[in-house]
Structure 1
Amino acid sequence: MDIRIFPMAAVLSAAIFFSGCAFSDHYVKDPDGVNSAANVQQDDNESFFLNWQGEKVTPGTAAENNCVFMGCSDSGIWQNFLVDIIAESTASVTVCSEDKVMHISESGTGSTALVRIKEKKDDGVEYAERLVSPVEVYSIYNEEEKQLEYYLSDILLNKVPSSGGDGSVNVPVEYSDYRVSSKAAATFPYQKYFSSYGDFEDYYDMYHKTLGLDSLKNAMRKLDDDGGFNTNVVFLYADRSVGDAKYKFLRAVVTDKKLTIYIQRDCSGNMSGVSKWQLTCTVPGEYLSDVAPDAVHWVIYDDVSQG
């Protein structure tokens, strides 16, 4: 499958980056009345979401209830939602398929979105809820299906027919993360990049005593021994999290002379204390010819399980 990726900024406006709220995900039987994890003002399309009991949804049903039907032609309702997200205005939309209804709402701060999902299953309707931060929506052009697929973190929000993208590139990378001393006095977060092993050695000499970077050094030495620095650049993001976080690489995208790296952070384990991390993405140099070192951005989506 040939998939090209570009952020919503390339479709509409500038992206919203880095915010410090949480992302939760839990799956329970659909309650009689949905009590969300955030206060969401009810509107017409939300009423359809709340009242849906698993009956088949058609494009006509969605339109009658001011909702978006996934996979249909791009609608004004969906475009208005994207514009409101970028403008950090209060935004909400309900997206439907035949057996699933999803309500997405954002309070107007640009920091947090609540995604509530009802899905018809053999034994009834199941309900899921996710609180996502930051509200960074991006789109993927699926060449095979000729569709734009819109995502928030790893949640498919919508997809619409499209004849093409803007030439943005999905970059193949090698991702790793390393836990370092939580007592490190260094200020987090920060970014670095290494275009040679010498660059990394300078970083190691400066930070090892504070952070404890032997595991990262072993990986960088192996990359150098294998000739990796001849054709790759290593980008590093030093992150701080609550408790025992887990990180998942989502994708890396080059568009408009900018590299954006999307990471999902799961803090659903032990929530006591603070942990500090070194996240690395090794990127082939062929994708970076037009990317300046200060045009590299990391989007860290928080993910906290509840219940």
Structure 2
Amino acid sequence: MRWPLDIWRTLFAPDVGTDHSTEPLNYENTQIARGAYLVQGLGHCGSCHTPRALTLQEKSLDERDSSFLAGGQVIDGWVATSLRASSPDGLGAWSEQDIVDTLRNGRNAHFASIGPMNDVIQHSGQYLTDQDLAAIALYLKSLPEIQGSSKVGFKADETTAKALWSGESPSRGAEIYVDNCAACHRTDGHGYEEVFPRLVGNPSVLAEDPSSMIRVILGGSRLPSTQQAPSDLVMPDFGWRLNDQEAAQLVSFIRNSWGNKAPQVSDQQVADVRKAMKEEHEQALASSEKQLIAH
């Protein structure tokens, strides 16, 4: 019954013998070429960070198409962010060292990894050589920014920080933030470097699809423990404390404060994510029970 796969491969898998799209690209230097090899091949970053068509093939395999590593794909409920030079929902504001630090330790001065990316860092990224990490970072920073309209944006604005600092609560979402989040992420949204990530201009915060952020707030998150950063810092879950409306108000506040600009989040979006997380938990428990019975 492998004939459907044969048809799929004929339609979508590149033929290195005849497909012109497999011709080598000319890179500026060997380090960028090495980074391209690692990202496109061994690292297969596009498997998550490149959007897929309805027939499930990656829409592009290298930077000759603007969809390559453009993000937006939802995998197991988590949104893969853009790895292009787009800002703010990509790596435009990141330095090469920021990329290296994230791949090695799951954190940099203003960002912390979440969701499936933690597994990538735990089991792969932290073991890459300095040379390979630098090559990957250089290649990713060489990718051009994606042109086009976006529903998200960022332009630093201190209005929210000043209001919260003075004791004003411009919205119910702001009140929830002060009560639950400000102790770690601060009233200015900048957090603490390599400990509590900043929410200001954060690509995960500004993703058009808010699923990842909703998941972090409802279920919490844990940083991967690596050789150079062994502390697996934990963010607690707030799903037990916040109802759907409160969580939506909180996420919407964060996504539209300190200069962040992203679509508002509805109660229904939170309810959908909460339901999906509950089903995932129940499936995991059922699977564990089956394994125990089998042994």
Shorter-chain TM range is under 0.3
Structure with the larger RCO, 1 or 2 (CA within 8 Å, 6+ apart):
1
Output the TM-score relative to the length of structure 1.
0.27
The answer to which structure has the higher strand fraction is 1
- Structure having the higher helix fraction is 2
